[in-house]
Amino acid sequence: MNTAQDLLRGYVEIYSLPTTFYRINQAIGDPKISMNDLSRMISEDVGVTVRLLKLVNSAFYNFPSRIETVSRAVSIVGTQQLHDLVLSTSVVSMFKGMPPDLVNMDSFWRHGIACGVAARILAKMRHEVNIERYFIGGMLHDIGRLIMYMKRVDLSRSLLQRCQANNELLFKAERSVFGYDHTEVGFQLVKNWNLPRSLQELVLFHHSPGAAKEYPVEASVVHIADMIVHAMRYGSSGERFVPPLNDVAWEIVGLPENSLKIIIDQMEDQVQAAFQTILGENQG
C-alpha cells in the first residue's frame, strides 16, 4: 500500500462526484435538453440553486436589479460557468467532517478559491479562451492533501508537526514520508472523477510545471497563482511557506515582469465574492 493509487482504492465515498454533477453536466452537453429542462433540474438541488442565485447577484456580475429565477440566472452565467459552479460546490460538500486538528476546511478552501481567482486573472491576461477552467484548476490543485489527511491521519499529523518544527516544505516532506506527494494523489482523484485531461495534468504538475507534457501553460499558471496566494496569506492547505518558483514557470506564463501588482489588485477585488459564492451563507 504505497502508491497514490493505493490510497484511493476501495474508498467508495470519494470515488465519484455526487450524481447531481454528472446529471447536470450531461444535460449541459445534450442538445435535446432545453434551457427550461436544465433550469428545472437545477431547481431540484437546493444547494446549487442557492449558490447560483448568489453568484449572479454578487458584485462579480453587478446587475442593477436582483435576479430571482433560476432560468434567468442560467442564461446569465452560461453553461460553462454553471458546470464549474456545480463542480466546485459538489467538491466542497464532499469533504466535510475532516479531522479539525489536521485541516481547517474553511482555510483550505479559501486557499484553493483564492488560487483559482488568481489563476483566472493570469489566464485572462494571457487571453486564454476558457478562463473558468483555470479557476477550477486553482481551486482543486491541492485536493490530494485532503485524501492524505483522511486516510493517513496519524502519519499526516506527525508530518505537519515535523514541518512546523523544522521549517520544512510540506510537499517535499510528503514525498520523503509517503513515497509520493499530494500532487499524485490529487491526480488519481480527478482522473477517477473523469475531469478533463488538462485539469489532471495541472494538478499533477503544479509544483513542477516544466515536466508537464501536454498542458504546461495550465500547470505554470496555477504554479504562479499558488505562489501569489501563499505570499498574500489567503488560507492554507497545510503548507506554511511560499513554494519555490519553478525555473521555467514564469517564462511559460509569459507575462510582463510588472504584472504581479496588477494581478494582486484584481484578485483582492474579486476574492471575497468568490468565497461567498462557493463557501455559502456562513461566510462574512
Partner 1 sequence: MATIKIDSLQSGMVVESDVVDHKGRVLLSAGTILDEKHQRIFRMWGIAEVKIQGAMNGETTDEKAAPSEILVNDVATQQAKELFRHCNLEHTVVQQLFQIAVQKIAEANDGGAR
Contact between 177 and partner 1 by CB under 8 A: the answer reads no
- Residue 12 is given by DSSP the state G
Q: 3-class secondary structure for 99-130?
A: CCCCCCHHHHHHHHHHHHHHHHHHHHHCCCCC
Radius of gyration of the chain (CA): 19
Q: Least distance (Å) from partner 1 to the CB of residue 207? A: 12
Q: Is 63 in the site for partner 1 (CB under 8 A)?
A: no
Contact 83, 28 (CB under 8 A): yes
- Nearest CB to partner 1, comparing residues 56 and 227: 227
- Cell numbers 477552467 correspond to what residue? 133
Residue 245 CB, nearest distance to partner 1 (Å)? Answer: 5
Check binding of 215 to partner 1 (CB under 8 A).
no
To 10 degrees, the CA torsion angle through 67, 118, 219, 164?
-120
Q: How far is the CB of 231 from partner 1 (least distance, A)?
A: 4
Contact status: 175 vs partner 1 (CB under 8 A): no
Q: Choose which of 4, 223, 230, 275 interacts with partner 1 (CB under 8 A).
A: 230
Where b means 16+ CB within 10 Å and e means fewer, 149-165 reads bbbbeeebeebbeebee
Contact between 264 and partner 1 per CB under 8 A:
yes
Whether 237 contacts 112, CB under 8 Å: yes
Q: Does 233 bind partner 1 (CB under 8 A)?
A: yes
Q: Least separation, in Å, of the C-beta of 152 and partner 1?
A: 24
Choose the stretch contacting partner 1; rule: CB under 8 A; options: 22-30, 58-66, 143-151, 257-265: 257-265
**Distance between CA atoms of residues 118 and 264, nearest Å:** 8
Binder among 153, 173, 232, 273 for partner 1 (CB under 8 A): 232
| 13 lies in the site for partner 1, by CB under 8 A | no
**Contact residues for partner 1 (CB under 8 A)?**
167, 169, 227-228, 230-234, 240-245, 250, 257-258, 260-261, 264
